Amino acid sequence: MEQTVLVTGSSRGIGKAIALMLAKSGYTVVLHCRSNRDDATSLMSDIAQQGGKTRLLQFDVSDRAQCRHVIEKDLSDHGAYYGVVCNAGIIRDNAFPAMTGEEWDNVIHTNLDSFYNVLNPIIMPMVRRRSPGRIITLASVSGLMGNRGQTNYSAAKAGIIAASKSLALELAKREITVNCVAPGFIETDMTEKAPVKEALALIPARRAGKAHEVASLVKYLMSAEAAYITRQVISVNGGMC
């Protein structure tokens, strides 16, 4: 039976690595972008060349009405998803006294409100499938231990962890698992401006992680073999915490 997985924020970085790995594993991958349509279209071509099945949705995860409209249309056209990877997110780092209201709101709306905006239209169709399902949210080491200059990001990711644990309780008897993956310092365009020396000093492994290392964990959690793993937060951080 065809298994379809939506991966938000999949035009680049960790999301792209996840989408590629899931497509190689035989899932039909629903790609998502907010504004990087060219990158997303290029990824669609890459997946198609490898024999994978994919399609693309474009919406802003912080826009509740837009999320619902686009997702419900896709569900109506193609049926319920087997899995969802909530990966889309932004950073707007600043010391808290200097942080603007806009910087706070943008991160909370995109990184935390998106949990509701994306998943709420999806859950009941998943339940009605009467088959196992998978929900994987991308948290962060910042949501577990905090990080200087990231009060907004840390708050949002901590909220994602709590929301995921709560949702896992609601869906466990339906055989739908909900887990968090919490990356540490991963080499992506989002971290390219970060103070590398300072970051590496905090990592026992003394190196940054790779996007495919996060994707490998997501691939496992998406599989049938991970059916008894739910309500967990699994870190990919080189031993940071």
Which residues does the annotation mark as catalytic? 153
54-58 and 176-183 as β-strands: parallel, antiparallel, unpaired? unpaired
For residues 12 and 33, give the distance between their C-alpha atoms in angstroms, rounded to a whole number: 9
CA atoms 56, 181, 136, 143: torsion sign: negative
- CB-CB contact of 82 with 130 (8 Å): no
User: For residue 232, which of 21, 26, 187, 220 has the smallest C-alpha distance?
Assistant: 220
For residues 138 and 128, give the distance between their C-alpha atoms in angstroms, rounded to a whole number: 25
Phi/psi at 44 (5° precision): -55, -45
- CB-CB contact of 6 with 22 (8 Å): no
- CB-CB contact of 103 with 125 (8 Å): no
- CB-CB contact of 85 with 180 (8 Å): no
Question: How many helices (H) and strands (E) in the chain?
Answer: 9, 7
